[in-house]
Structure 1
């Protein structure tokens, strides 16, 4: 047990999981606290051995909250020679935004979703879509500002956002019943050979279960954790034993045989659909990989077949639209107008179908926007379609700075410079450290003969975002 404890804790340390470490600490407190209440100090030696091993590992490798002994020694040596240099780079260069800060922002968004849809939530596994509508502006100032968040990084808030009050109450009721089941079975008198060890095992189950509850508070439940979440109560029931006599089971009658065949047939059908789903995903992945190496001629058939097998998957049509778009551009460049026109229509048709299949998915609109922007090389009027797509997307994601930035660029390209200036100003208000947006805004200010304002924007970039940006320096020199 000492070797396994050391091994598992070392693995935990190297995962870098703060929620996992907090869950472990809580499990330690519950387990040893209950052990001492049950048997006083009978296991005091084991307590010290286990925890000395844990402290030694934490001291050697360090944890998410404490540095290793070697880092402490090295830092003292450095302090004796010279003071540590202050970080001068951007947030990305110096390690990014603290995960705790990001969690608080995402939690705030999850609570806002629950407030909007308090009874049943937005639907199971819809956080990736619904978060955009309640995404706090503060998220734009983190290093993960353009990441897709499909979970609330808190299992309980995730249930509140996706399933509402009904869902979270059901989830908490299940947790309460599971704890009751474990405790109840720990108090049972069983007549098996584990009668003496069972109470200790029951305490271990309770401690382990509590650690999962704590981990889920600071993160979200992945598949292995979710399996253990349901297995703990089952383990407690099985290991508690039951008072049963050996009785010969009767042979199944005709009704039971028929029921068995029905269940087996249903299972076979489910397996068939799972295999079909897997194969469609394989085709999609193969086609996507061909797209990444600019082999759209090979990619198109794979993705088309994937969409044919699973016609309700919007992402397949989105990828197919991008594939047709690239082929249309290639044929247009080769001066094959008929083929280019047919592929253009196919690209637009599939991008629209992707959006219609998943209207709440902002990322499908990003794909549709990209399709129209690329097709504008064939017909500039498609920029108007791109503008319209962004206007709809912004209604769904009112704090997404990248959408506003792209809309500002589109306004500029179609000659609506006043709207472009207003939109880019809104963009830098949403994300003050958005270098590309602020630079584009400065350039448009220069074109509008508003040089003092443009100077302020360029100086802001060089002072607060990127002191080495050559373009900002170049434009700043041109207006001095």
Structure 2
């Protein structure tokens, strides 16, 4: 009964894996499955002939039942990978057999293809294929790592990939469906190590991986060699591998090793999370701890200052107090985050009083978090606008100062966070409606953001709008041309460029821009077609 329950559980987990549509997860499973059963069969074949039959019998039935259930799930549900589903699913074979029985109407297909020669942009027809997006992210990661000798050796700094990628983002990434996403990881754990910790950081991980694999192979080979010198076992449930090891424990070791390898595979196409990172070190630790022989003694560390009972009690009290302090601090940080989240949501529905209050309380609990100050600046800017609308000049002036001060603090703590500079731009832009001097400050902030993220098309686009408000139409036009160069399908930039050309009395150039968009991006844009005739 227990075996049936575990088999059904394994089948359920495999089905859940398919529902995630994670190709890296499926590949990791395939590698772990191949390694585990390969090692089991190899190890069983190296046993004495008297024990081979027992070992193969114990693993043969689970192997067959598990893989039959996996095949059945794939056959009925599919893997959501076209290359696999085309040959391994019931639906695909039904379609293939029905198409064989009925001749295809090739003329209809030809006519349809001719009538619809335009292929919709990816943003209209669906998201960009993840592999293409990953290639751009990996390209940016490598460019960031190669940016200087320092970064090649020690990287850009731990957990700084989001900042580094902005500076070296490939222009081609702007043509994907995730062109304006924030990437705080490289979607490849090893490239993430390389970018943020350099050769030294990645090398330490690779040294750990290689050392453990070599150690594991050496231990397993020594066990199999020891087993060849052991007489045939009379009990089918007890196969002695020397060192007091049993067959079930050996299987557990192989399963943990295969599971550990699956993490290495999935990390190549993604990034680690807390649980997988724990397993990355915990699985080897379990295997190593389990291989400590009974004749090996643990290393004992003597602590003479804890010899007396009184001193041990004092030490225990100190540890308890320290633990309580740490737990309290963690609890306060968590509570600060909940306050911030509440304030963030309130700000999004224009409840600026509640937002400012909650964020202020969050800052009091965790004054070193720049994100709190950044959001506080936005909330206070909203309060300043409300005060202006209520004709409260004194209150508005106070809120403006507080808003700018909060933005200053966020940038002081984290000067290379491009999003903070964008927030600063929005704050100044908001105030520029009442004081034109803030428009220049907004331009200055956005120009700094452009230095941090030179391939972001939104930055030159917004710079064009801001400089246009100052009457610098020629510069706005150049900025919009640069925007289109960064992102050739950016509709808003084409439209803005058309507006500016009309502004400077050059409508023919504006029509040429619209025609360029209709030719290269979307021939079916009716709005642009109508404006062509204006």
TM-score scaled to structure 2, two decimals? Answer: 0.83
Cα distance in structure 2, aligned partners of 1:147 and 1:35: 44
Tell me whether 147-156 or 438-447 shows the greater mean CA deviation: 438-447
Tell me, yes or no, if structure 1 residue 198 matches structure 2 residue 203. Answer: no
| Superposition deviation, residue 48 in structure 1 | 3.2
Cα distance in structure 2, aligned partners of 1:246 and 1:365: 59
Contact 2:257 2:284 survives alignment (8 Å): no
Partner of 1:39: 44
Cα distance in structure 1, aligned partners of 2:385 and 2:399: 9
| Superposition deviation, residue 14 in structure 1 | 0.5
Counterparts of 1:14-413 in structure 2 under 5 Å?
Answer: 14-40=19-45, 42=56, 43-65=59-81, 66-67=84-85, 68-70=89-91, 73=94, 83=109, 88-116=119-147, 117-183=151-217, 186=220, 187=222, 192=244, 195-240=246-291, 242-243=293-294, 253-254=307-308, 256-413=312-469
Counterparts of 1:400-439 in structure 2 under 5 Å?
Answer: 400-439=456-495
Q: Deviations over 1:170-220 (max 9, x none)?
A: 11122223334544554565655x512222222222211111111101111
Q: Deviations over 1:367-410 (max 9, x none)?
A: 10111111112212211011001111111111111111111111
Cα distance in structure 2, aligned partners of 1:173 and 1:262: 38
Cα distance in structure 1, aligned partners of 2:465 and 2:93: 50
Unaligned runs of 5+ in 1: none
SS, match of residue 124 in structure 2: coil
Contact 1:198 1:240 survives alignment (8 Å): no
SS, match of residue 122 in structure 2: coil
Larger radius of gyration: 2
Cα distance in structure 2, aligned partners of 1:325 and 1:34: 64
Judged with a 3 Å threshold, the aligned counterparts in structure 2 of structure 1 residues 44 and 453 are, in CA distance, closer, same or farther, namely: farther
Cα distance in structure 2, aligned partners of 1:153 and 1:120: 20
| Superposition deviation, residue 161 in structure 1 | 0.7
Tell me whether 431-440 or 66-75 shows the greater mean CA deviation: 66-75
Q: Deviations over 1:2-29 (max 9, x none)?
A: 2122111111101111111111111122
Judged with a 3 Å threshold, the aligned counterparts in structure 2 of structure 1 residues 180 and 258 are, in CA distance, closer, same or farther, namely: farther
Cα distance in structure 1, aligned partners of 2:511 and 2:98: 45
Q: Deviations over 1:314-354 (max 9, x none)?
A: 11111111111111111111111111111111111111211
| Superposition deviation, residue 139 in structure 1 | 0.8
Cα distance in structure 2, aligned partners of 1:454 and 1:245: 83
Contact 2:463 2:479 survives alignment (8 Å): yes
Judged with a 3 Å threshold, the aligned counterparts in structure 2 of structure 1 residues 412 and 53 are, in CA distance, closer, same or farther, namely: same
Contact 1:355 1:365 survives alignment (8 Å): yes
How many aligned residue pairs are there? 476
